[in-house]
Structure 1
């Protein structure tokens, strides 16, 4: 079969007039450039200022880099499609897009888990923080975040690449593993088992974060300083986790269990949230609300009493 796949444009919402597609292109380009710029600003700021070489900021720097990777797995192909009115992608490029996308997803969960662990120690065990969060420990956590995420993605990519395809139409504006697996004409039981293993693994990470927040909330009520720490770093962290998890779960459940084509354009818009919203919002709610960074950049989006 042909080694090219195409978006089913009659159900993705891309088959619009030239004027509308140009408007979509302009908004998508501005969104992508703004996303990259705000994340790069935080990365450069953290890298150049030695006072920000603390574990929480190093983890934030890693998170911002991951946001750029996530946005870059989605926007360039979308911009190309809107500009050229061509909705075709090679199978190799589709696998490449999936690899970057899922590396971003898994790294996002792991990064949020690591950041929750850091905040747990900082608030619940402040006297032991320096002893527990050493430079060696930070390095190990960073390596775990990236290596584990890439390994998870690589296993899934190998399992998907081995499947022969009997179809070529993807009812989405970006490649996802399940949509490609559904095109296969051979047994995909192993892929399904691995997918459910990944879902269980990262739901477990979410559960661990929630458990840590029970302890954080208990600690936050003890003093005004702990409440300030919680409001500045933990509450935005929890909000982003919930938004990311909900949008990702919607995409997963809809892809697997919805066979209809009704409101596919809306589905694609909602499904793409995890590739658009967190990369744009995270550097704001994590970086610009932290006093050390907002003081350097001159940006302030929350009142000082937080």
Structure 2
């Protein structure tokens, strides 16, 4: 294995302790999951895009969530698969920055998307008579713009912080490039990094608060209404599961440093650092495909049509 590093390249050390058998086992798991993630999200995007009955705000936001999931997985899997199969453990600084930007866009986009979806469900259940006037085409376009503008702005700021000073170290302990890893390689750090991280945490807390407050009010509205309870079970439960799933995965990733100090097995440690990139993108389309009756009906219709054609 070539561990030589140069000023233009960074070394990924996450797999240094893995033998060839471990690499093949993880590759055999990762490749099918990556392909399955692409198929599931692409199928849901196509169903929403071509089915006019699904051209409603909730499904438009769901479509954006699937696009964001494809963005995150495509930013992570190809490089990781190369590391596993070829034992190539170097990446150019330029490629590392691009991967960091893509993953930031994915991570922040997941937060913004799920937050907007929570607000949409709150309006649909707690303000049903005003839903269409509030969620007008202009409002939906504005919210979709926010879903993407916020992560893109965050990625630009993160890149500025990460590239402010030259690198004195060239080793990344994770299986992918991300902003904090790049910052830790810098020869010097200042208050700008702390301010930026604080701002990121504050915005994340605000978005999470939107979701929690929305669901608190939704639950209150559902207590005495069977209609609202049915809406909650059919449209809110999938979103709530996706939100809690993503929060749990982010928690595991952010806690990886503490786990590492407790001598967690290296393979499990590596998995925990990438869990937020692996689990939500494959779980989200499955949950929504099963729980949302219009989507489920369309999927069943497609399968029945294919079955009839093959007979």
TM-score with structure 2 setting the length: 0.90
Aligned to 2:149: 147
Q: CA deviation at 1:286?
A: 2.0
In 2: Cα distance, 1:242 partner to 1:184 partner? 34
In 2: Cα distance, 1:258 partner to 1:290 partner? 37
- Partners of 2:289 and 2:296 within 8 A in 1: yes
Give the secondary-structure state (helix, strand or coil) at the position aligned to 2:252: helix
Give the secondary-structure state (helix, strand or coil) at the position aligned to 2:283: helix
Aligned to 1:6: 11
In 1: Cα distance, 2:84 partner to 2:123 partner? 47
Instruction: Establish whether residue 277 from structure 1 lines up as the match of residue 279 from structure 2.
Output: yes
Give the secondary-structure state (helix, strand or coil) at the position aligned to 2:10: strand
Q: CA deviation at 1:151?
A: 0.7
Superposed counterparts of 1:24-173, under 5 Å: 24-173=26-175
Q: CA deviation at 1:258?
A: 7.2
Give the secondary-structure state (helix, strand or coil) at the position aligned to 2:189: coil
Instruction: Establish whether residue 191 from structure 1 lines up as the match of residue 193 from structure 2.
Output: yes
Aligned-residue Cα RMSD (Å) equals 1.8
Aligned to 1:303: none
Aligned to 1:232: 234
Q: CA deviation at 1:254?
A: 3.8
Q: CA deviation at 1:14?
A: 5.6
In 1: Cα distance, 2:31 partner to 2:82 partner? 10
1:152-190 CA-to-partner distances (Å, cap 9, x unmatched) read 111111111122111111111111211221111112321
- Partners of 1:3 and 1:91 within 8 A in 2: yes
Instruction: Establish whether residue 262 from structure 1 lines up as the match of residue 267 from structure 2.
Output: no
Q: CA deviation at 1:16?
A: 3.1
Aligned to 1:292: 294
In 2: Cα distance, 1:85 partner to 1:109 partner? 34
- Partners of 2:167 and 2:187 within 8 A in 1: yes
In 2: Cα distance, 1:178 partner to 1:49 partner? 41
Give the secondary-structure state (helix, strand or coil) at the position aligned to 1:89: strand
1:11-32 CA-to-partner distances (Å, cap 9, x unmatched) read x346433343223212111000
Aligned to 1:304: none
Ranges in structure 1 where 5+ consecutive residues have no aligned partner:
300-306
After the TM superposition, which of the residue ranges 156-165 and 40-49 deviates more from structure 2?
156-165
In 2: Cα distance, 1:102 partner to 1:145 partner? 13
In 2: Cα distance, 1:261 partner to 1:3 partner? 33
In 1: Cα distance, 2:130 partner to 2:285 partner? 28
In 2: Cα distance, 1:251 partner to 1:45 partner? 32
After the TM superposition, which of the residue ranges 87-96 and 281-290 deviates more from structure 2?
281-290
Q: CA deviation at 1:243?
A: 2.4
In 2: Cα distance, 1:47 partner to 1:56 partner? 13
- Partners of 2:253 and 2:276 within 8 A in 1: no
In 2: Cα distance, 1:286 partner to 1:168 partner? 41
In 2: Cα distance, 1:159 partner to 1:19 partner? 38
Ranges in structure 2 where 5+ consecutive residues have no aligned partner:
1-5, 302-311
In 2: Cα distance, 1:54 partner to 1:158 partner? 37
Q: CA deviation at 1:261?
A: 7.9
